[in-house]
Amino acid sequence: MAPLDRSSDVPLADQIESRLAALIASGQLPTGARLSSIRALASQLSVSPNTVVTAYDRLVARGLVETRGTAGFFVAESNAPEALPSQLEAGEAHDAVWLAQQAHDQRASLLPASSGALPVSWLEDAIPAAVVQRGLARSVGGMAARCPPQGMPELRERIAMLMRGQGIAVDASRVLSCYGGTHAIDLICRAFLKPGDAVLVETPGYHLLFDRLREAGVKMIGIARRHDGIDLDQLEAACIEHRPRLLFIQSVLHNPTGWGSSAANLHRVLMLAERHHLLLAEDDVHGHFLGGPHAGSVTRLAQLAELRGVVYYSSFCKALSPALRVGYMAAEPTLLKALLRAKIQSVLTTATLNENVLLELLASGRFRKHLDRLQQKLAAARQVSTRALRGAGLLLDRPAEGGLFLWGELPAGVDADTLVKDAYRQHILLAGAAFDVANADQRHLRFNVVHAQHPRLAEFLSQRWQASSQAQQLIRRAAERSR
């Protein structure tokens, strides 16, 4: 083996490991070949035996080398499976699970125009390595420390302070940490629902919620979502007819439309819920994206009800870091106890490191500053995307005042299902029908304001409108000639 580069920043053990791995991969060290003894290689390279041991142990862990007792180290027979032709798809094309996977697989050629996530470049500076180090230093016991199932008390108090700033009267005892909004939905299903229960959902609404409820075996009833809140007449009629157990609702920056709810609408929802013994699950996952002059004027159910009969949940994953995976729930004690039991039974607890890092971010004020910058960038992106989509012929009825999404109506004669499939063949991810509880909406698409700025999207849409218009003209002419 050639001499090691002692001027390199790469540790000596790493250099030995990589060079031996390269020799094995090239066949210069064939299967069954015996490696030099630890002492012989250490002497040859003028390193300590411990350095060689470290390199050999790593090669054994990678399956490239095997030990044969006192006989030494030998090149192992390769047992790697044949490479799959493509990545494993978790769902069927264009269903809820498939769409969620596309956003997280981050395929380089794909423009995720309907994605529910921010691009990596917008979040990569949110949590510097120094913050992670300080978060780890907070933990007595370091990486061996356990996290209380309800969540770290100091973090829960910080979250309660954040919620009180939104006008929600809560203390740390009413807060439960979780892994994010999707995990919160899972805990609600585990704690409060059983097969056959009637559950109300907004339509359009969150597509993964629909999937989870179908898995729970409940009877799902869609209630139309309007620009100022849920349709109250439909809600009342459904309560009378179906006697539902629970309603999932998004009061602020509704997904996929981005719309809010008026205080009058939410007051009426609370009155109906009390009259019909309806538990409310309020999704505020996108609430962190609402900034500027609108932030102080929004109303939430948890605020109006003071958490009576409301399970509130939100997350830091979208606005801060998908890698951190921390969300939170709040409810009155009897409800929170059921959620805590469900958490312990399913995942036991959340991650100590994650919670310590988030605590550091909240305590230092970095999270607030990060949100301010993010909201400014989103506002600018929304203006650009709105102009581009309208210029391409899309109808944006009552565009959102904040957040990630624009809800666009297609021109007459354009079929959404065909458009979505054509777009994917052009490496553009679009979605619309998945947000309808019956998967039937063929008129609307969700657009992520960051990704919708890309000129490739407007160009694709304009071309498809033109092609659709020409096809309709040909059909009309053919019909006229046949008369």
Do 192 and 64 sit in the same domain of this protein? no
Do 360 and 429 sit in the same domain of this protein? no
Q: Tell me the pLDDT tens digit for each residue of 213-232.
A: 999 999 999 999 999 999 99
Do 194 and 340 sit in the same domain of this protein? yes
Task: Please give the share of the chain, as a percent, with pLDDT higher than 70.
Answer: 94
| Residue 195 structural domain | 129-364
Q: Tell me the pLDDT tens digit for each residue of 426-464.
A: 999 999 999 999 988 889 999 999 999 999 999 999 998
Do 336 and 416 sit in the same domain of this protein? no
Q: Tell me the pLDDT tens digit for each residue of 220-265.
A: 999 999 999 999 999 999 999 999 999 999 999 999 999 999 999 9
* 226 lies in some domain: yes
- Give the CATH number, domain containing residue 56: 1.10.10.10
Name the pLDDT band for 29 (thresholds 50, 70, 90): very high
Do 44 and 185 sit in the same domain of this protein? no
Do 113 and 141 sit in the same domain of this protein? no
* 3 lies in some domain: no
- pTM to 2 decimals? 0.85
Do 158 and 198 sit in the same domain of this protein? yes
Do 70 and 197 sit in the same domain of this protein? no
* 430 lies in some domain: yes
* 91 lies in some domain: no
* 80 lies in some domain: no
- Give the CATH number, domain containing residue 443: 3.90.1150.10
Name the pLDDT band for 70 (thresholds 50, 70, 90): confident
Do 150 and 168 sit in the same domain of this protein? yes
Name the pLDDT band for 87 (thresholds 50, 70, 90): low
User: Which of 364, 397, 412 lies at the terminal end of a domain, its last residue?
Assistant: 364
Q: What is the pLDDT of residue 326?
A: 97
Q: Tell me the pLDDT tens digit for each residue of 365-414.
A: 999 999 999 999 999 999 999 999 999 999 997 887 789 999 999 998 88
Do 358 and 277 sit in the same domain of this protein? yes
- What residue type is 428 in one-letter code? I
* 89 lies in some domain: no
* 349 lies in some domain: yes
In total, how many domains does the chain have?
3
* 90 lies in some domain: no
Do 137 and 171 sit in the same domain of this protein? yes
Do 142 and 281 sit in the same domain of this protein? yes
If phi > 0 it is left, if psi is from -120 to 50 it is alpha, else beta; for residue 46 that is left
- pLDDT at residue 275 greater than cutoff 70: yes
